[in-house]
């Protein structure tokens, strides 16, 4: 695959969006960070949040695969800046 094609650019951009979305979802589903605030005490008791929190462990593999894929495309597309 030519990493300077329009398809590669679209994949590169799409993986960046996936990284952003899943990064936010992992952050919001983590009880350590948002739950340290006062509002977290109330949010953690909401049944909808409890169902959302159940998916926390399933969000991580998608985030990691997306980050790895995005990194590969970034290095192939932009090159290694340390050469």
- Residue 31: phi and psi, rounded to 5, are -75, -20
pLDDT tens digits, 1-58:
566 778 888 888 999 999 999 999 998 887 776 666 677 777 777 888 888 888 889 9
Nearest one of 60, 53, 48 to 28, comparing CA atoms: 53
Please state the pTM of the whole predicted model. Answer: 0.76
Which H or E run includes 61? helix 56-78
Angle between helices 6-29 and 56-78 (to 10 degrees): 150
């Amino acid at each position: 695959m030519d990493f300077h094609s329009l398809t590669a650019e679209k994949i590169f951009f799409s993986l960046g969006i996936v990284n952003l979305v899943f990064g936010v979802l992992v952050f919001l589903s983590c009880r350590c960070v948002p739950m340290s605030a006062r509002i977290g005490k109330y949010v953690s008791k909401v049944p909808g949040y409890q169902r959302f929190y159940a998916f926390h462990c399933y969000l991580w593999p998608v985030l990691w695969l997306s980050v790895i894929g995005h990194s590969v495309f970034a290095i192939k597309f932009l090159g290694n800046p340390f050469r």
